């Protein structure tokens, strides 16, 4: 496994394989790897000749009051996990490699980036879309892998790839959960023991919605209010709980064929997200 920090050097290293017709799978990450990332890496290794992962805590996607400085960076552990998982290249740039002085170009996916997480994290998705575009240009993968836990991010990236004719395929893989249902996230490490217990309420509220829908509930407000009541009981602070159309992310009044239930909740100072995508045939 090679670890490379220069965009030009990794592009040169990969071009050899591309010229030989080898396929390149790419998993972009901000490090602090967990089983969720590893499931993406394992899939990339299975699908492709060469697997590249990037580890870059992207400053452009953090707001001024967010956790950029405290974001976990367990470098050695991450590299050991990559090596064990069969990664061929780790792209690990410094901020100045990605954002040289006087960097002024941004990618913005209008509409989808301004709702849900985009409302409480203005500029976040422009930061994500910009860095992911740069990473795609540098690595030029055949397939890029994202997790369903960051559902809005995946939807935005798919739209960006379509709108900008970026020649690659996006694969979105299921959320990996802890035994008690909590979706795996690098930010779970911020939770103390009491908060960790409370954090179960995210997946519990999604399960409640699932049961209500199985039992015939179709009205979005009714489902959302029941979820909110459960979350509030655990003294968690709700950012949003919404039932939306999976393509437009616009709120639905009633469950329709395809729907998406998405939520963001603050447990102590830690903001966590989760979701499930459903299909209702009656």
Catalytic residues, by residue number, are: 37
Regarding 132 and contact with ligand PAF (CB under 6 A), the answer is: yes
| Binding range to ligand PAF, per CB under 6 A, among 106-114, 127-135, 162-170, 259-267 | 127-135
Q: What stretches of the chain adopt beta strand conformation (E)?
A: 2-4, 24-29, 50-55, 89-91, 143-147, 169-173, 237-244, 258-267, 270-279
Regarding 30 and contact with ligand PAF (CB under 6 A), the answer is: yes
DSSP 133: H
Q: Measured from the CB atom, is 202 or 252 closer to ligand PAF?
A: 202
Regarding 150 and contact with ligand PAF (CB under 6 A), the answer is: yes
Options 41, 117, 128, 244; binder of ligand PAF; rule CB under 6 A: 128
Binding map of ligand PAF across residues 185-224, x = CB under 6 A, - = no contact = ----------------------------------------
Express the helix, strand and coil content of the chain in percent, nearest 5 each.
Answer: 45, 20, 35
Regarding 28 and contact with ligand PAF (CB under 6 A), the answer is: yes
**246 vs 253: CA distance, rounded Å:** 14
Q: Measured from the CB atom, is 51 or 153 closer to ligand PAF?
A: 153
| Side-chain half-sphere CA neighbours of 73 within 13 A | 11
With contacts defined by CB under 6 A, how many residues of the chain interact with ligand PAF?
10
**6 vs 271: CA distance, rounded Å:** 32
The residues of the shown chain that bind ligand PAF, judged by CB under 6 A, are 28-30, 58, 61, 128, 131-132, 150, 153
């Amino acid at each position: 496994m090679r670890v490379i920090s220069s965009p030009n050097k990794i592009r040169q290293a990969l071009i050899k394989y591309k010229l030989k017709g080898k396929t390149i799978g790419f998993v972009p990450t901000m490090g602090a790897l967990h089983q969720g990332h590893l499931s993406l890496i394992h899939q990339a290794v299975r699908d492709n000749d060469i697997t590249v992962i990037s580890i870059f805590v992207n400053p452009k996607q953090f707001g001024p009051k967010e956790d950029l400085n405290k974001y976990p960076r367990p470098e050695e552990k991450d590299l050991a996990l990559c090596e064990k998982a069969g990664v061929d290249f780790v792209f690990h740039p410094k901020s100045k490699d990605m954002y040289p002085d006087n960097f002024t170009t941004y990618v913005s996916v209008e509409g989808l980036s301004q709702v849900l997480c985009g409302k409480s994290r203005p500029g976040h998705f422009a930061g994500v879309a910009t860095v992911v575009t740069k990473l795609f240009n540098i690595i030029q993968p055949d397939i890029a892998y994202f997790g369903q836990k960051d559902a809005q991010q995946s939807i935005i990236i798919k739209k960006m790839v379509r709108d900008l004719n970026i020649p690659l395929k996006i694969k979105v893989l299921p959320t990996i959960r802890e035994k008690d249902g909590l979706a795996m996230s690098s930010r779970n490490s911020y939770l103390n023991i009491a908060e960790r217990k409370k954090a179960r309420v995210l997946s519990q509220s999604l399960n409640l919605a699932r049961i209500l829908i199985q039992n015939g509930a179709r009205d979005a407000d009714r489902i959302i209010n029941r979820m909110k009541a459960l979350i509030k009981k655990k003294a968690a602070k709700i950012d949003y709980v919404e039932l939306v159309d999976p393509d437009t992310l616009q709120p639905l009044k009633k469950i329709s064929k395809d729907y998406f239930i998405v939520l963001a909740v603050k447990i102590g100072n830690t903001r966590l997200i989760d979701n499930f995508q459903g299909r209702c045939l009656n």
